[in-house]
A and B are shown apart, each in its own frame.
Chain A
Amino acid sequence: MGQVIVVTSGKGGVGKTTTVANIGAGLAMLGKKVAMIDADIGLRNLDVVMGLENRIVYDIVDVVEGFCRLKQALIKDKRFSDNLSLLAAAQTKDKSAVSPDEMRRICKELKADFDFVLIDCPAGIEQGFKNAVAPAEQAIIVTTPDISAVRDADRVIGLLEAHGLRDPLLIVNRVRPNMVKRGDMMAVEDIAEILAIPLLGVIPEDEGIILSTNRGDPAATVQSSFAGTAYRNIALRLTGQDVPLMSLDLRGGILSRFRRLVGGR
């Protein structure tokens, strides 16, 4: 039986979709069978980030309305030897086209065939959020080092507790080590202290992410990508491996971290 994980944040634009795409890719590269669900109905994005837009035949609303079977709607990603599948959101409908019960039914079916079911939650805390959270057994909170994003993350953690989802995991995205060093950006430690949930990973700001997102190629597949490595580490941690955080050396900046790697600590 697989595990259903929702990736959520409250605030928009912090990197939920990018995170789902890259963790999905990272897990698939480890040989895990992964299904990704785009729960952002009406504003679908995950297919674009994954470069699978032109392969959509059926979407999640077609499944819910009985126009097709679930298996028919799953788009298999050949780049990951079919380990990675996507259930696309509908572009035309809105969040009311799917109910929490229908999301639970879809995920129950997927769990039987996949090791991980990743749900890309829409921004906000309304119907789309409730749909995305309903079937989840675990949650990943994505935030950026901005006061507003951290505030929304805190609010969402409280709402998840009300849904019975305790102890979500934290990803701090788009961290700029140099700005943190100068005191111009919230440090990961400060964010973790306020939110008081376990830290799953830290993703450095990386221009390569913009490129790979626009190209439809998750950064996790690029060995040299800094952010991609951070995402691959997160995938490893989700499979139960103990991978040390890259972030712990943030105070020393990127260069000293390289030196430390080269110098073998």
Chain B
Amino acid sequence: MAERETALLVRRTLRAGQQVRYSGTVVVLGDVNPGATVIAGADIVVVGQLRGFAHAGAGGDERATIVAFRLRPAQIRIAHHIARSPEAPEVVPDQPEMAAVVDGALVIRPYRPLLYGRELRGGSAEWGRSSS
């Protein structure tokens, strides 16, 4: 099972051909460029642009999420779910986004700090408490 409590801090931009693998959460202070790879047992947070390949919950944890300032990856995976970028050039929203598995599908939504993990999965009662 993934080590959700431990994190690896990567303080640089990952360039093409470079790879980071870690059993817990990976936080990148920089960009993940096209051709670079991040594989984490738990969550992936990119404080920059994610344009490469990211696999969160690589050990099978579907609760894992991928958050990036600009989420425009070639392909992302959470546990065994795979999503790739659309063929047509898409308009990437100019805001942080989060990828998560909701009802068995990998979805990307705008990232909202207060709703972290809750809006995506419903659970309004719990959300009501946390926002008060």
Binding site for B on A (CB under 8 A): 147, 151-152, 154-155, 157-159, 161, 194, 196
Contact = CB atoms under 8 A, between A and B. Distances in A.
B113 interface: no
B35 interface: yes
A3 to B, nearest CB: 25
A155 B36 CA distance: 9
B34 A154 contact: yes
Contact of B34 (A157, A159, A194): A194
Interface of B: 13, 15-18, 31, 33-35, 51
A154 B31 contact: no
Contacts of A194: 31, 33-34, 51
Q: 7 nearest interchain CB pairs?
A: A158-B15, A154-B16, A155-B16, A155-B17, A154-B15, A151-B16, A158-B18
B48 to A, nearest CB: 10
A147 B74 CA distance: 13
Contacts of B34: 147, 151, 154, 194
Contacts of A154: 15-17, 33-35
Contacts of B17: 154-155, 158-159
B9 to A, nearest CB: 18
B66 to A, nearest CB: 20
Contacts of A161: 15
B31 to A, nearest CB: 7
